[in-house]
């Protein structure tokens, strides 16, 4: 009995307010990148593999000529830094976009944050 009361007391401790940290991602459009046909495509392939190994890359869309991928989740500052770095490395600015991270991966043009049918992965 006394044990149970202790446990209840512990649960009643007020939790410190922990605001959810904002999570961001960087979408890299490898389809556009490859269609431009410059060296940046190779540069990105190497870096994409690096992010992938760290578990920081997810695929949004795959086509025979390339894939649209998203780096993350990162902090907003890290995402903006990464996007800048990628553009500075020669990737066309139109192929790179920092955006808020969403639980469900959305296509680059989608502005929804909640799961949507259009972007739902094929079953």
Residues that bind Zn ion (CB under 5 A): 106, 110, 112, 116, 119
Q: How far is the CB of 105 from Zn ion (least distance, A)?
A: 8
Q: Which is nearer to Zn ion, 40 or 68 (CB)?
A: 68
Q: Which is nearer to Zn ion, 89 or 104 (CB)?
A: 104
Q: How far is the CB of 112 from Zn ion (least distance, A)?
A: 5
Cβ count near 63 (within 10 Å): 10
Q: Which is nearer to Zn ion, 31 or 119 (CB)?
A: 119
User: Is there a contact between 97 and 27 (Cβ–Cβ < 8 Å)?
Assistant: yes
Q: How far is the CB of 120 from Zn ion (least distance, A)?
A: 8
Structure tokens at 49: 């593999």
Alpha carbons 52 and 26: distance in angstroms, whole number = 13
Q: How far is the CB of 65 from Zn ion (least distance, A)?
A: 22
Alpha carbons 53 and 115: distance in angstroms, whole number = 26
Q: Which is nearer to Zn ion, 3 or 111 (CB)?
A: 111
Residue 68, CB half-sphere, CA atoms under 13 Å: how many?
17
């Amino acid at each position: 009995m006394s044990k149970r009361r202790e446990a209840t007391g512990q649960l009643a401790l007020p939790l410190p307010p922990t605001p959810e940290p904002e999570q961001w991602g960087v979408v890299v459009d490898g389809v556009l990148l490859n269609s431009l046909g410059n060296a940046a495509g190779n540069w990105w392939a190497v870096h994409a593999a690096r992010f992938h190994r760290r578990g920081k890359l997810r695929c949004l869309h795959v086509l025979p000529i390339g894939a649209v991928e998203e780096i993350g989740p990162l902090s907003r500052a890290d995402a903006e830094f990464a996007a800048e770095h990628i553009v500075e490395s020669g990737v066309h600015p139109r192929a790179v976009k920092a955006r808020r991270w969403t639980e469900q991966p959305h296509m680059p043009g989608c502005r929804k944050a909640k799961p949507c049918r259009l972007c739902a992965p094929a079953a």
